Amino acid sequence: MSDSGPSTSAPAASTSAGTDDRKTAALTAYRQALKQHEELSDGLKRLRFGLKDLEKDYDKTEDDIKALQSVGQIIGEVLKQLDEERFIVKASSGPRYVVGCRSTVPRHKLKQGVRVSLDMTTLTIMRVLPREVDPLVYNMSIEDPAGASFAGIGGLGEQIRELREVIELPLMNPELFMRVGIKPPKGVLLYGPPGTGKTLLARAVAATLDTNFLKVVSSAIVDKYIGESARLVREMFGYAKEHEPCIIFMDEIDAIGGRRFSEGTSADREIQRTLMELLNQMDGFDHLGKTKIIMATNRPDTLDPALLRPGRIDRKIEIPLPNEQSRLEILKIHTKPIAKKEELDYEAIVKLSDGFNGADLRNVCSEAGMFAIRDDRDYCLQEDFMKAVRKLQEAKKHESKIDYSAV
């Protein structure tokens, strides 16, 4: 009876050991199957994303093939609407047609003068095209005034206030003028010696208001072909009206705005025609419209009186040479980013720079930096600025003097 205990416990132990082995094997197999399942799921996801990319490539290729196989379209101009479905259109080649309109084209946009594309065979209006813009006018609009601000202009507080009254108030708060019952000015003339900040003021106004900005160099408008200059002026104002609010800045206006006279060459007469078109365009837009003009010149005495009369250029702002206090403000603005070892004696530099304009003072800072580089230093000293002022004083002796009187 004593031998029966061990003989029964041995099979039980072996049975439990076999069960543990099977459990371990099953768990291992399960983990492997789970891992394979996860790998297959990841692979399936990648294939799905790859399929989407392939579908996009397929659609793009299909569109490219259609574009290559499709026939081009004719450009035309709407002359008149006859009824809901028919329009008189002038094709770019010259002849006029009575044509239909595609169902997806909005009818309310098909007004006189609108550019459209026509099907090559049926001459049906396929789509409305944007207004044609002269490349010269488009290049004027690329000018970006960003970066300019009133904080970067020193010594012109009164001029900035006057300019903002003329340009900023009518654009931001036109109801103020309507309440008082007056018409806001259409434009402003900035005049004064070169280098005093006329262009910088105009750029700062446009950047502050976040408006469209057309920078026009007046001499670039003049064309040798008769009528081209006047057409450019029309294009310029048309573009500005379509992209309101817009500021047109005409630099060196004396190039086309000089006094008219009876005698002269054909080139002089073309400039006079350009001026007449400019006067006509300035008379043509609304006082409370969102197109404003800023003109700049350093020769106000040569401008035509018709251009300067109230109703066209209502405000004339003189930008004078900076006085001692203004030069101090300008100098502090330009020396701010410059590496300096010690605090500068601004008063001494300002007293030595009598007759300097804003551009001269910026040049003083550049020359001081050049002296530092020449001495193999990475910072500027007081002596560098003093030497720079003396150097520029010698250079300014060669500049001609022009006397400015208030316009």
Residue-level pLDDT at 400 = 58
Question: What CATH class has 324-396?
Answer: mainly alpha
Residues of the chain with CATH 3.40.50.300: 136-318
End-to-end CA distance of the chain: 137
Under 8 Å between Cβ of 275 and 257: yes
Q: Which fold has domain 74-128?
A: OB fold (Dihydrolipoamide Acetyltransferase, E2P) (2.40.50)
Determine if the peptide bond prior to 170 is cis (ω within 30°).
no
Residues of the chain with CATH 1.10.8.60: 324-396
Residue-level pLDDT at 373 = 93
- Residue 363 to residue 349: CA distance in whole angstroms: 13
Under 8 Å between Cβ of 165 and 180: no
Residues of the chain with CATH 2.40.50.140: 74-128
Domain 136-318, classified CATH 1.10.357.10, yes or no: no
Report which of 171, 271, 154, 165 is spatially closest to residue 213, judged by C-alpha positions.
171
Per-residue pLDDT of the chain (407 residues; tens, 9 = 90+): 444 444 555 556 667 777 888 888 888 888 999 999 999 999 998 898 899 889 999 988 887 887 776 777 889 999 988 888 899 999 888 889 999 888 888 888 888 888 999 988 888 888 888 877 766 776 676 666 666 778 888 888 888 899 888 888 888 888 888 888 888 888 899 998 888 888 888 888 888 887 888 888 887 777 767 778 888 888 888 888 888 888 888 888 888 888 777 666 666 777 888 888 888 888 876 655 788 899 999 888 888 888 888 888 888 999 988 888 888 989 998 888 898 888 888 888 888 888 888 888 999 999 999 999 999 988 898 899 999 999 988 887 776 555 556 66
Say if pTM beats, i.e. exceeds, 0.75: no
- Residue 344 to residue 383: CA distance in whole angstroms: 9
Residue 152, burial from CB neighbour count under 10 angstroms (0-12, 13-18, 19+): middle
Structure letter (DSSP) for residue 84: S
Residue-level pLDDT at 262 = 66
Query: Per the structure block, which two tokens stand in for 262?
Result: 């009876």
